[in-house]
Structure 1
Amino acid sequence: MKHTLMPWERGVVFRHGKLTEVLGPGRHRRGFRHQVRRLDVRPRSQTQGWQDIPTSDGVLIRVTLVLVWSISDPAQYVQAAATPEVELHLLTQIALRTAVLTRAHDEVDQSRETLAAETLASVAPRAADLGIDLREVAVRDVVMPTELRKAALAEILARSEARAALERARGETAALRSLLNAARLAEDHPALLQLRALQTANTVVLERNR
């Protein structure tokens, strides 16, 4: 039988139930007693389902991971586990849970990169035993409970209102300071009031002439 493998494929060959070889890209001829299992060794992205994880302060948060991995050892991949992808999923979920459990709820979102790095460091060696090269782990989503999201939104709104009130107070203070300076100038230099009155009168006369 002829088997043509593409550049991104590998063929794991069994004969009488025993693994005999791993085929690379190209055309191969093997007898009918051989079984060839094709594997795609290109990198693939995998978005894992969300997981509810308790934090160190007892808040249940929802976290989603994204993995990038590829098959590094085809022979190991087909022999180490019945479903290597499921095993990889379980390993990463456990590692993520362990990392989140050591942090308070308000630390998790800002620690995304650290959580991903800890998960990768924990899982990569064990993934290699499955014939998998775990290349990248990223924390995609961190979702807090509804009550905490509402509280955070209220806090942001309160800070915004406080900044607006502060700006208004600064504006009023500046206006009062300007009035105070004008009053002092008028008190120290009475002639300024007469000059101002003359300017106002001239403006009124010009407007009437128009």
Structure 2
Amino acid sequence: MRRTVRVNHWQRAAIYVDGVFDRLLEPGRHTVWGGQKRVTIHHIALNAQYVAVGPVEVVSSDRAPLRLSATIVHRIEDVVLSLHEPVWPAINLIGSQALIRLASAHTLEELMARGNQLDAELTALVGERISAAAIESVALTGLTLPPELRRLMTEVERARLEGLAALERARGEQAALRSLANAARLLKDNPELAQLRTLQALGAARNATLVIGDTTGVPKS
């Protein structure tokens, strides 16, 4: 039996004969002869691969339970070793352990900030190499709080926002009162300005009557 195999430049192909590894194919087109034997071809990607780890149950340094997830970017460097020692299980195990250690070294507030420092620490905890793969980067991609903790944090945030709203209302009322006090003081010190303001208000009003002077002794008709 003859088979034509194409291997891309970012791949290698492993040939198995009756379940036993036989050889590795470099990029290009190859013709594989099987005869009466069972031939299996397994392609291995050498470009950057992304592995999602988690969510993992962890506890922060201030004893807050939560779940963390991470994404690990790696490349296969030793193709033959990767055939005997699969990379994904090792990356998942070491990544999970790194998340647990990262959480135990930080408070919940620090973990929720999710700055670049946490990614750097997580990368150092994972290491530069796992089995046949070289680790290129590690990023903390997810943080999930338990329902009761999310509810408490929501209530705290709502209370904070309500306090800010009340503070802004109080500031607005103080500003309005200060403006009225300044206007009253200005009118008291300038009676002519008060009269002009009255005429201005009268001009803007409809069906208004302006009475000037004392009308106490005027007979009613």
Q: TM-score, normalised by structure 2?
A: 0.76
Distance, in Å, in 1 between the alignment partners of 2:108 and 2:116 is 15
Contact (CA 8 Å) 1:13, 1:34: kept in 2 or not? no
Corresponding letter in the other structure for 2:167: L
RMSD: 3.1
C-alpha distance in structure 2 between counterparts of 1:57 and 1:188, whole Å: 63
Among 34, 56, 62, the alignment partner of 1:57 is 62
Structure 1 pair 207/187, CA: closer, same or farther in 2 (3 Å)? closer
| Conserved 8 A contact 2:19-2:40 | no
Amino acid in the other structure paired with 2:88: E
Unaligned runs of 5+ in 2: 210-221
1:34 to partner: Cα distance? 10
Q: 1:86 to 1:133 in 2, by over 3 A?
A: same
TM-score where L is the length of structure 1: 0.80
Q: How does 1:65-76 map to 2 (within 5 A)?
A: 65-76=70-81
Question: Residues 14-62 of structure 1: CA distance to partner in whole angstroms, max 9, x if unpaired?
Answer: 7899977532112335665896752321333222331110111211111
Report the equivalent of 1:78. 83
Any idea what the Cα deviations from partners look like across 1:90-144, whole Å, max 9, x if unmatched? 01111221111111122112135333333323334341xx211322322221012
Identity %: 30
CA contact 1:14–1:35 (8 Å) conserved in 2:
yes
Counterpart contact for 2:56–2:99, Cα < 8 Å? no
The structure that has the greater radius of gyration is 2
Structure that is richer in helix per residue: 1
Q: Does the CA contact (< 8 Å) of 1:112 and 1:139 recur in 2?
A: no
What's the secondary structure of 2:30's corresponding residue? strand
Residues 48 and 64, structure 1, Cα contact 8 Å, conserved in 2: yes
- Describe the shift of the 1:112–1:188 C-alpha distance in structure 2 as closer, same or farther (beyond 3 A): closer
Give the partner amino acid of 1:9. Answer: Q
Which of residues 122, 125, 128 is equivalent to 2:125? 122
